[in-house]
Structure 1
Amino acid sequence: MATKRTRARLSSVRVDEDDVKISAASTTVIKEERKSTRASKRIKSQATGKDTTYTPIATTTKPKTTLTTKAKVDVVKPGPRLKYESPLEGGNLPLPWKGRLGYACLNTYLRTATPPVFCSRTCRLSSILEQRHPLQDPEQPPHRTKNRPDRTQPADTCRGQRYVEALGLANARDLAAMLRWNERFGIRFLRLSSDMFPFASHGEHGYALAPFAAETLAAAGCVAAKYGHRLTTHPGQYTQLGSPREDVVTAALRDLAYHAEMLRLLQLPPQQDRDAVMILHMGGVFGDKAATLRRFTQVYREKLTDEVRARLVLENDDVAWSVHDLLPVCEELGIPLVLDYHHHSIVHVNNENEKEGDNESENEDADLDTSPPSVAARTDLAARIRATWTAKGITPKMHYSEPSAGPLATPHQRRKHSARVVTLPPCLADADLMIEAKDKEQAVFDLMRRFQLPGFERIGDVPPHERDTTAVKNFDGVDVGGPEGLVYWPEGHEDWLKPKKKSRKVEDKEEEDKEEEE
């Protein structure tokens, strides 16, 4: 029998009305057909979206999937997306949209270009150490098998450093191309990859970015300044200032200093420079939440540089630290607070600050406060969050994503981000919104096309498997790897970005040769 806790959770979940379920009879038909006929394979592939007819999203109407087989089965649509109460006031979409929509780190279209354009080239630490040795044949270019470093020769630290610096410079050069490409298609918000300069914050093998990367980063910053793009960073989960371990805190300080230097070398105009923040999670609780907050406060006040404090922003997470946990310390220390809608939906806070996923064997019959917050409470929360930003003159930003799992999924499964998002959340009118979806810029394109946001008319569908494979990189960031404007691929069809398989080309060539002979 379902407990009150379970019933409370399920009652708070709303599923889109047009989400459908497969009937038991249809399921039986499909199973029988799969066992006996070749047509069943077509049914299966179409039901999973591989052979379905795609309708571009230009309005709020969702694309309809059509099946052309004789068997009558219910349409299988993507799994239901959860909806949850907004922690802020209002339930209407923030239209017309005033802020900037952005994505994180990787551009799927440019990453699959020829050659690829991306900002996260990295290596192993062992590769840096290996590259300290000269090549077996210094007169020839390096090769992974034919001309590798000769470990019998003396090592040179500078040689290994040049290797890792070259990776970072290639990443920084591609940043400028990504920004121009984003401007072309109306995206003016980007999170920089923390891997742009590999191992720059390493305790033993770390290095400063200036002077070797100063000019390249400044060039990328000029592009961002010209078009008014916002650039931010998000140090990783192991950067924890509240840890009881001194070595963890020391590593976190190095990592924050690296991110701050990278943003400083962009040389952005004053307002864009203030908006270039570093988002950080509080991290673990370490058995005592109050003690963790005290350690964080002490490190923030005594060990962080003014530059890092000016850029540091806290974000609520989906495990331990809710908006209600972080807002008081943000107000006390003058730290802006990023509201992550998806994380907020995972950590449900009741009168006792109990989070979803706690041990259900305890207090199973306890009544939970599942009612949504009042309008007055949401209004107050929105005003307090906004004040943490305006106090420093920084443009507010928020994070939005949707769970990929269905409404009956476990809390762990619900933490996974969906490939796309279907709506815009109610949020501050002047806030920028980071879309944290697996399909990156394509999730932003989906929103632009669905709600007809500025620039949506410039986004066309990628011709399947017809991208140019000529290895020419256009550093203007336009038309890299494909025709102008044809940059959108529908959900589930990332394979459209790749050329036809070579085996198919060989078969076509053989058929052409045979026809010529005949």
Structure 2
Amino acid sequence: MQTPYRLGFACQYRHPQGSETLKEVEALQRGYNPRTTTLRWLGSVAASEAEAKLLGIIEHNLAAQLQLLAYVASLPAPLHMLRLSSDLLPFYSHPEWAAFYRAPSVVARLEAGFAAIGAQARAADIRLSFHPGQYCVLGSDKPQVVENSLAEFEYHADMIRWMGYGQRFQDFKCNVHIAGRLGAEGVRAVWPRLSEVARHCITFENEEKTYGIDACLQLADLAPVVLDIHHSWINEDRRIAPDSPRVQAIIDSWRGVRPVMHYSQPVERLQALGFAADAPLEMDAVLAQVGKTELYGHSAMMWNQVVNRYALAFLDRFDMMFEAKDKNLAVLAFYRAYLQG
């Protein structure tokens, strides 16, 4: 039986520190988390050595995702939700490494490796997603940035397709911000250039600076809107009401698929400035102590209880992706504090 809601974490596993040293904890985490390298290093060695290094990283990253999925599968069903890392295939969309990634032996390995990841996720009923980085700017007014952004998004679409997703509307979520000087209209202009897999999976998330909820809703005819309640608070200086008509418009943009929202809190430093964990965070009071840019960062844990209760008011209609520095530990603590029977 499917759980009525899901809570998820993003990209990295954090091991709870008990009697282990920090070094021991870091060693325990390595098997779950991806590795990468730099273009500079790859260019500093012979081609054969660079390719061998990259193949080793790819093998590690594929195995790490399987281990991470096994961990998520061991959690209670409401926690079967995970954002996969975008860094699984270093420099996949970079022109210098295009030939390497098109080699038949590499393609065969990637197809098999990602198929195993998709099969494991479906077997455990884990809802998956990606979130390409903020350099993926489909609405840029610079043609080369648009080309690079399309290539980066199609890199994610390839991984999605190999996992067996992207076959129908929102069987997998791949989330981006609108971004770029051309904004929503720029995104609309490049939309036909995205592959069918990409168009099935893309979502648009409101951000804290320029393109908020209303900008995302301008694209609701193309793709669903991911509501980020922390970004909305910063962008509009007040919290969106759970019963707002705009929330219903966001839900409608998902066309019957259960919506996903993002949840984060400002950094814990606010507590040292007098904001108690059991007291409201009102924007006027916060801005009297810190600049707004300090609110862009994410907290380690979901420390403010009032904001947590506000977030819970959305859970009857949304799955919730936590964007917290302590990753799975933050989700587990929230679940145990507010939802575990």
Query: Do residues 451 (structure 1) and 338 (structure 2) align?
Result: yes
- The separation in 2 between residues aligned to 1:275 and 1:341, in whole angstroms, is 23
Q: Deviations over 1:256-286 (max 9, x none)?
A: 1110111111125967x833111001113x3
**Pairs within 5 Å for 1:84-95:** none
CA RMSD of aligned residues (A): 2.4
Q: Which residue of 2 aligns with 1:414?
A: 295
How many angstroms does 1:221 deviate by? Answer: 1.6
Q: Is the contact made by 1:418 and 1:437 (CA closer than 8 Å) also made in structure 2?
A: yes
User: Structure 1 residue 165: deviation in Å?
Assistant: 2.5
1 CA distance for matches of 2:40 and 2:27? 29
Determine which of 306, 322, 333 is the counterpart of 2:212.
322
Residues 165 and 197 of structure 1 are in contact (CA less than 8 Å); yes or no, is this contact kept in structure 2?
Answer: no
AA aligned to 1:211 is A
Is the alpha carbon distance of 1:205 and 1:410 closer, same or farther for their aligned partners in structure 2, counting shifts above 3 Å? same
Aligned partner of 1:278 among 165, 174, 197: 174
TM-aligned CA deviation for residue 452 of structure 1: 4.1
In the TM superposition, residue 327 of structure 1 has moved relative to its aligned partner by: 0.6
Does structure 1 conserve the Cα–Cα contact (< 8 Å) formed by 2:205 and 2:228?
yes
| Distance across 1 between alignment mates of 2:300 and 2:194 | 36
Change (3 A) 1:174 1:410: same
Give the equivalent residue in structure 2 for 1:245: 142
Matched, 1:118 2:32: yes
CA distance in 2, matches of 1:292, 1:178: 35
Does the CA contact (< 8 Å) of 1:257 and 1:308 recur in 2?
A: yes
Q: Distance in 1 between matches of 2:202 and 2:331?
A: 26
Instruction: Report the AA paired with residue 121 of structure 1.
Output: R
Range with greater deviation from structure 2 (335-344 or 114-123): 114-123
Q: How does 1:132-147 map to 2 (within 5 A)?
A: 133=46
Q: Distance in 2 between matches of 1:210 and 1:188?
A: 29
Do the aligned partners of residues 328 and 294 (structure 1) sit closer, same or farther apart at CA in structure 2, a change above 3 Å counting? closer
Residues 1:172 and 2:62 aligned together: yes
Aligned twin of 1:195: 87
For the Cα contact (< 8 Å) 2:14–2:29, is it kept in 1?
A: no
Asked if 1:384 is matched to 2:249, the reply is yes
Give the whole-Å Cα distance in 2 for the aligned partners of 1:433 and 1:341. 10
2:176 aligned counterpart, secondary structure = strand
1:266 to 163, 167, 179: 163
Q: Secondary structure at the match of 2:8?
A: strand
Matched, 1:99 2:1: no
Deviation at 1:413, TM superposition (A): 0.9
- Identify if the C-alpha distance between structure 1 residues 212 and 246 changes in structure 2 by more than 3 Å, giving closer, same or farther: same
Matches of 2:253 and 2:266, distance apart in 1: 28
Q: If the length of structure 2 is used for normalisation, what is the TM-score?
A: 0.81
1:295 is matched with: 186
SS at match of 2:233: helix
The separation in 2 between residues aligned to 1:313 and 1:191, in whole angstroms, is 14
- 2:318 corresponds to 1:435: no
| Separation (CA, whole Å) in 2 of partners of 1:112 and 1:223 | 25
**Which residue in 1 is equivalent to 2:123?**
226
Whether the 8 Å CA contact 1:179–1:223 is kept in 2: the answer is: yes
Measure, in 2, the Cα distance between the counterparts of 1:259 and 1:336: 18
Distance 1:437 1:250 in 2: 31
Higher normalized helix content (fraction of residues): 2
Q: Which residue does 1:83 correspond to in 2?
A: none
Q: Is the 8 A contact 2:13 2:29 kept in 1?
A: no
Q: Which residue in 2 is equivalent to 1:400?
A: 263
Which ranges in structure 2 are unaligned for 5 or more consecutive residues?
Answer: 17-24, 271-285
171 and 242 in structure 1: CA distance in 2 versus 1, 3 angstrom threshold:
same
**Percent identical:** 28
Give 1:312's aligned residue. 202
Shift of 1:246: 0.8
2:224 aligns to what?
A: 336
Tell me what 1:351 maps to: none
Aligned partner of residue 213 in structure 1, secondary structure: helix
**Secondary structure class of the residue paired with 1:221:** helix
Q: How many Å separate the matches in 1 of 2:12 and 2:318?
A: 22
Quick one: structure 1 residues 328 and 128, their matched pair in 2 at CA, closer, same or farther if it must change by over 3 Å? Answer: same
1 or 2 for the larger relative contact order (CA 8 Å, sep ≥6)? 1
- Relative to structure 1, the CA distance from residue 126 to residue 446 in structure 2 (aligned partners, 3 Å threshold; closer, same or farther) is same
Cα offset, 1:428, TM superposition? 5.3
Provide the C-alpha distance between the structure 2 equivalents of 1:389 and 1:296, rounded to a whole number of angstroms: 18
Distance in 2 (CA, whole Å) between partners of 1:450 and 1:429 is 17
Deviations 1:73-114 (A, max 9, x none): xxxxxxxxxxxxxxxxxxxxxxxx831111000001187244
Query: Given the two structures, how large is their TM-score scaled by the length of structure 1?
Result: 0.54
Query: Is the 8 Å Cα contact of residues 166 and 198 (structure 2) preserved in structure 1?
Result: no
Q: SS of the residue aligned with 1:398?
A: strand
Q: Residue 276 of structure 1 aligns to which amino acid in structure 2?
A: F
If you compute each CA radius of gyration, which structure gives the higher value, 1 or 2?
Answer: 1
What code does the residue aligned with 1:342 have?
A: H
Deviation at 1:115, TM superposition (A): 7.2
Question: How many residues are matched?
Answer: 300
User: How has the CA–CA distance of structure 1 residues 259 and 374 changed in structure 2, closer, same or farther, with 3 Å as cutoff?
Assistant: closer
After the TM superposition, which segments of 4 or more aligned residues of structure 1 sit over 6 Å from their partners? 372-375
